[in-house]
Amino acid sequence: MTSAPPPRVSRRRPGPLRGRSVPATATRVTIAVLSSVAVLAACAGPPGTGTGAPGASYALSAGTPKPKGDIDSFTWAVYAEPPTLDYTVAFDYPQNTILSNVCESLMRWTPGLTLEPGLAEKATNPDPKTWVYDLRSGVRFHDGRTMTADDVVFSLGRQTDPNNAAAWAQNFQNVASVRKTGPLQVTVKLKKPDSQFPQYMATAAGVVASKAGVTAAGKDYGTSGGLACTGPFELGTWQKGQSLELDRFDGYWGKRAKAGKVVFRFLTDPSARTNALLSGEADGGYLIPTESYARLKGSGAGTLYFGEGLSTVNVNITNIKGPLGDVRVRQALSLALDRTGFVKAGLGGAGTVTNSLTTRAAWAGASEETRKAAFAGLPPTERDIEKARALVEQAGATGKTLTVATSSIGQDVSLLATAVQAAGSRIGLNINLKSVAPNAFTALFTDPEARERIDMFPLTYYDSITDPLDLLTNFRTGAYLNFAGYSDKRYDELVDRATATYDRDSRLRIETELQKRAAEQLPWIPVAEWPTALFLNKRITGAPTTIAYMYYPWAADVGAAP
């Protein structure tokens, strides 16, 4: 029979007699048990005291120590490769982290999160519907040309060109015209007063690139060749899928960059990123995986800093046609969420629970009175399961099924989804989790089909300007991130009024109204304030700690550590 295995001979060696080996066996068993217990203890966290995951303390740093001098090059870890570096579609972390060093805007967002002149040395507002930008003279592009008003008109024009599908188009909705009014002067005429427009001129919305350079690159602009911008670094070698290099631009108009070269390495796997930082393969990085905070802190390889992030972690409600259409169900979910637990486990302890969609720092320019008004009267962050369950019952939603998207993109996403599911199951809702692949997660923002059969998903939102309206405007009827189609006439009116108000405190007073309405209506459920995290190893220092790195040429400040 062909199937029968060949005859086999026992290979067992004769052992010691059973009776004699008892003491030795007992010792071995004891050692085995003891070592198992030791291994178990070494592998596990501290016993459940309710204090949660380790590393639960953090303090914000205003900045990092000044470098002692120049450095040849340094390597930076980023979590994803940008599909393109065209400034008109730069709306996510990886693009802007790189682009901010290559392309500059009319205004500049400083590490202290204030506005200062950028490529425009002066911005004036002769009447509420006019902004005049006087440009710096002698600013050179990476392609050798000199910046003129024509380049500014062309660059801003690209943002409103429907063929470009620019991510920043909605910030130009009140712009009537952008005209050259002098060799180095550009005048922006607005359809109605817009307090946000001048602020956005410090983001990628206000980037100026060489008209000739962009036109020459054509469709390849952003993906191959240079970016024809003015920043302290110019685009070097881009090895797709691996790394991207920036080389110091010697013709830079401002302070010369301290590093000759910056190498960005694309490390999508969180543990690979952490290991690269620990081994020195990467010298630093923003957006550190929260589960690695403790390892990086304790490693001695460098320093982990936290800075003002103007970021809140929220649950984005994407469907209000189902049970979530009833505000009581949204309120119930908010009441049942374990925010404290989420901050401890999901954000590695570095975060603050909140019931406000906007961060406290976003209200920086407000008077004490306005700031108090913004945060007074918000619902408490403590859980109240009984009340939440009663609300669900009142809404007749008990037993209804909801779906929340989750992804292994990071603990802030996966554990928030788990927390929402746990909250729902405790108040009588049936919540399913739907896994989305990490690279498909961005599609939730751009593709309505990807949001089908999903009722909510975890969303971290960062302000691009130091103004709470940046977030609050998202609940205006028809806004880009208003996926659920939330619509409230009074809310829209308030947004319009705030937008039209230039005086900061008066505007922020109107925004307190918006803040209150958003807290009552919960178009998104706020969970926590999340600071930026920055790791720098012992070789380098100087990078800003705040979210300003998205639009500020931070890499130019990085030099050799003392």
Partner 1 sequence: MSTVLTRRPGLAKLRVRSGRSPLHLVCLGLVASVVLAALLAPWIAPHDPNAVDLGAALAGPSAEHPFGVDAAGRDTLSRLLLGARTSLLGPLGVVAFSTLAGVAIGTAAAWRGGWLDSLLSRATELVFAFPGMLLAVLVISVYGEGLLAPVVALGLAYLPYVSRLTRSLVLAERARPYVSAYRVQGHSALQICLRHILPNIAPVVLAQSTINFGYALMDLAGLSFLGLGVPPLTPDWGRMVFDGQTAVQHGYPLSAILPCLFVVLTVVAFNVVGERWADRVARRDR
Binding to partner 1 by residue 1, rule CB under 8 A? yes
Binding to partner 1 by residue 439, rule CB under 8 A? no
Binding mask 310-349 for partner 1 (x = CB under 8 A): ----------------------------x-xxx-xxx---
By C-beta, is 5 or 69 nearer to partner 1? 5
> Helix/strand/coil (H, E, C) string of 494-516?
HHHHHHHCCCHHHHHHHHHHHHH
> Helix/strand/coil (H, E, C) string of 197-266?
HHHHCCCHHHECCCHHHHHHHHHHCCCCCCCCCCCCEEEEEEECCCEEEEEECCCCCCCCCCEEEEEEEE
Binding region for partner 1 (CB under 8 A) out of 45-53, 213-221, 386-394, 535-543: 45-53
By C-beta, is 189 or 297 nearer to partner 1? 297
Binding to partner 1 by residue 6, rule CB under 8 A? yes
Q: How far is the CB of 413 from partner 1 (least distance, A)?
A: 11
Q: How far is the CB of 297 from partner 1 (least distance, A)?
A: 11
What lies within 8 Å, CB to CB, of 506 at 6+ separation is none
By C-beta, is 4 or 59 nearer to partner 1? 4
Residue 281: count other Cβ atoms within 10 Å of its Cβ. Answer: 15
Binding region for partner 1 (CB under 8 A) out of 37-45, 92-100, 251-259, 527-535: 37-45
Binding to partner 1 by residue 35, rule CB under 8 A? no
| Cβ proximity of 451 and 318 under 8 Å | yes
Question: Out of 67, 231, 270, 302, which residue is the one contacting partner 1 (CB under 8 A)?
Answer: 270
Task: Choose among 313, 242, 281: nearest CA to 80.
Answer: 242
| Cβ proximity of 291 and 270 under 8 Å | yes
Question: Out of 354, 406, 464, 541, which residue is the one contacting partner 1 (CB under 8 A)?
Answer: 406
**Residues shown for the chain:** 562
Site residues for partner 1, 345-404, by CB under 8 A, read 345-346
What lies within 8 Å, CB to CB, of 559 at 6+ separation is 67, 68, 69, 70, 71, 258, 259, 540, 541, 542
Task: Choose among 56, 48, 45, 58: nearest CA to 345.
Answer: 56
Binding to partner 1 by residue 22, rule CB under 8 A? no
| Cβ proximity of 211 and 150 under 8 Å | yes
Binding to partner 1 by residue 3, rule CB under 8 A? yes
553, two tokens: 């040429």
Give Cα separations from 322 to 29, 325, 385, 445, 457 (angstroms). 59, 6, 22, 20, 15
Binding to partner 1 by residue 289, rule CB under 8 A? yes
By C-beta, is 6 or 138 nearer to partner 1? 6
Binding to partner 1 by residue 274, rule CB under 8 A? yes
Binding region for partner 1 (CB under 8 A) out of 158-166, 242-250, 290-298, 491-499: 290-298
Question: Out of 32, 34, 41, 176, which residue is the one contacting partner 1 (CB under 8 A)?
Answer: 41
Backbone angles phi, psi at 350, to 5 degrees: -95, 85
Binding to partner 1 by residue 5, rule CB under 8 A? yes
Question: Out of 17, 19, 20, 49, which residue is the one contacting partner 1 (CB under 8 A)?
Answer: 49
Question: Out of 177, 224, 435, 477, which residue is the one contacting partner 1 (CB under 8 A)?
Answer: 435
Give Cα separations from 264 to 35, 235, 535 (angstroms). 44, 11, 14
Contact residues toward partner 1 (CB under 8 A) are: 1-8, 10, 12, 40-41, 43-54, 270-271, 274, 289, 291-292, 294-295, 338, 340-342, 344-346, 406, 408, 411, 414-415, 417-419, 421-422, 425, 432-435, 437
